Amino acid sequence: MGLISSGTLRKGPLKPVGELLNYSRKYSLWMFQWGLACCAIEMGVALAGPRYDVMRLGVIPFPASPRQADLIVISGTVTDKMAPAIKRLYEQMPDPKYVISMGSCANCGGPYWDSYSVTKGVDQIIPVDVYVPGCPPRPEAFIQGIVMLQERIQKEDPADRWQGKGWEPIVVAG
Amino acid sequence: MPDDTNDDTVEDGAPNAEHEATIATLARELGDGAVVESGVLGGANPGVASLVVRVRPDAWARAAHVCRSTLGYDYLCFIAGIDWMPMPAADEDAEGDTSAPVQPKEMTFGVAGSEGRFQAFAHVESTRVPRSGLTLKTDVDEQDPHVQSWFATYPGADWHERECWEMYGFVFDGHPNLRHIYLPSNFEGHPLRKDFPLLAREVKPWPGLVNVEAMPGEAGDDEEEAAS
């Protein structure tokens, strides 16, 4: 039984080590960006624009592969045809991994609530940590989602995460 | 060109001299009453008005050939389908539909008419001659929806016909590779047919245009009313 899965890092003399581990993970989130539709532009503003610049929060965008990523942002409309590809890429990410669903389409289907081709929410195929509402969300809302996710990472016990506990989703309030 | 062709007030359906010549060429080349009906969309102003010609289904592929070789329309804009069936939610027992204008309950047909529910239509343009494009329509049988393919004349028809096939179920005879283009390959049904069941609408009927916010300055705009 390893240090993490035994829970040793959450209590006792090694607790500061666990906190340091979480602190490090929190500020080095490699983010795999999954631009599916117009929300991707808003996400690009939050990532690459000098005004918002999510890298100052320790989020590193554009890893070369999902196998290097800790965080995936689903930004845009998920279609039934694209859903298997999203699932496959999510499964390639190493644990522990986090998902932000950005925009109304990824949250619930949004304006395509009655469409024949749109998946009504990416949470039907992968578990979502943070929902960012909006059509599209403002970059501020997206960055708020990142900050709330970082708070969760700081507080969480990696052992719980790996045992599938602590999946209660965070919703960024409008 | 007569002066009255520049008059914007001329209503739809009055072909100008250029349109007449196009219709005459099509009728001559296709022969034997293959041109069923024609009409003009958007007034008679040259460059704006668009001629719509409906041809018999058995002359559909030949019409494409005439367009390209004789009439000089070298660019295929699109091929698409039409389902003239009224929207299913528009019948008497549908509640809460606030669409405006009110959706028709009977089948209504556009310019140049239609025999039945389904039509295929295509728009061609000329890149060499400065003139308005030509829209061709043909009727498609509801029970046996077969249409002649335009692939031999306009290779660009390939993807348009594949899309039309998956969305409306029209079988394009002569198309070399009729398979799904947008939808997943295991998709069943033809989603742009009006009677395609949308599961979400079975649960919650289409609410129409509710919750439409007023534009700034329009009546009903809250901020405007608060300011006044």
What ipTM was estimated for this complex? 0.71
Q: 114-153 in A: which are within 8 Å (CB) of B?
A: 114-117, 120
Q: Which residues in B lie closer than 8 A to residue A113 (C-beta atoms)?
A: 200
Distances (CA, A) of A112 to A99, B55, B86, B152, B198: 22, 36, 21, 37, 11
Rounded Cα distance, B141 and B58, in Å: 12
pLDDT of residue A171: 87
Question: What are the tokens at B121?
Answer: 């239509």
In this prediction, residue B164 has a pLDDT band, given cuts at 50, 70 and 90, of very high
- Is the model more confident about A14 or about B99? A14
pLDDT of residue B208: 65
Q: 63-92 in A: which are within 8 Å (CB) of B?
A: 80-81
Of all residues in chain B, the one with the smallest CA distance to A80 is: B184
pLDDT in tens, B26-58: 888 888 788 888 888 876 565 667 889 999 999
The model's pTM is: 0.77
pLDDT of residue B139: 92
| A-to-B residue pairs, Cβ atoms closer than 8 angstroms | 21
Query: Nearest CA of chain A to the CA of B191: how many Å?
Result: 7
pLDDT in tens, B103-127: 777 888 888 888 889 999 999 998 8
Give the containing element (helix H, strand E) for A90.
Answer: helix A83-92
Tell me A118's DSSP state.
B
Among A80, A81, A114, beta carbon nearest to B200 = A114
Query: Nearest CA of chain A to the CA of B188: how many Å?
Result: 11
Query: Nearest CA of chain A to the CA of B102: how many Å?
Result: 20
Nearest to B195 by CA among B66, B107, B95: B107
Nearest to B210 by CA among B90, B101, B98: B98
Of all residues in chain B, the one with the smallest CA distance to A109 is: B200
Alpha-carbon torsion (B170, B172, B178, B182), positive or negative = negative
pLDDT of residue B163: 94
Among A80, A81, A113, beta carbon nearest to B200 = A113
Among A81, A116, A120, beta carbon nearest to B196 = A116
Q: Which residues in B lie closer than 8 A to residue A81 (C-beta atoms)?
A: 182-184
pLDDT in tens, B196-211: 888 877 777 766 666 6
pLDDT of residue B7: 44
Question: What are the tokens at B8?
Answer: 């914007």
Yes or no, beta carbons of B198 and A117 under 8 Å apart: no
Rounded average pLDDT over B163-178: 92
In this prediction, residue B9 has a pLDDT band, given cuts at 50, 70 and 90, of very low
Phi, psi of A140 (to 5 degrees): -60, -40
Distances (CA, A) of B198 to A113, B88, B204: 10, 11, 10
Yes or no, beta carbons of A80 and B184 under 8 Å apart: yes
* pLDDT of residue B78 exceeding 90: yes
In this prediction, residue B8 has a pLDDT band, given cuts at 50, 70 and 90, of very low
Among B182, B184, B201, beta carbon nearest to A114 = B201
Yes or no, beta carbons of B191 and A117 under 8 Å apart: yes
Query: Nearest CA of chain B to the CA of A16: how many Å?
Result: 50
- Taking chain A (174 residues) in runs of 10, the rounded mean pLDDT of each run is 71 83 90 85 80 86 85 91 92 89 90 89 91 89 91 84 76 76
Cβ neighbours of residue A75 under 8 Å, at least 6 residues apart? A33, A34, A35, A36, A37, A39, A40, A42, A43, A102, A103, A106, A136
Q: Which residues in B lie closer than 8 A to residue A115 (C-beta atoms)?
A: 198, 200
Q: Please say whether the beta carbons of B182 and B164 come within 8 A.
A: no
pLDDT of residue B161: 93
In this prediction, residue B171 has a pLDDT band, given cuts at 50, 70 and 90, of very high
* pLDDT of residue B82 exceeding 90: yes
Among A81, A114, A120, beta carbon nearest to B183 = A81
Q: Which residues in A lie closer than 8 A to residue B180 (C-beta atoms)?
A: none
Of all residues in chain B, the one with the smallest CA distance to A82 is: B184
In this prediction, residue B4 has a pLDDT band, given cuts at 50, 70 and 90, of very low
Q: Which residues in A lie closer than 8 A to residue B189 (C-beta atoms)?
A: 116
pLDDT of residue A58: 87
Range with the poorest average pLDDT among B8-17, B109-118, B161-170: B8-17
User: Mean pLDDT of all residues in chain B?
Assistant: 80
pLDDT of residue B225: 54
Among A81, A109, A113, beta carbon nearest to B184 = A81
DSSP-derived pairing of the beta strands B171-173 and A98-102 = unpaired
pLDDT of residue B3: 42
- Is the model more confident about B17 or about A29? A29
Test the B interface: residue of A82, A108, A113, A114 with most B CBs within 10 Å: A114
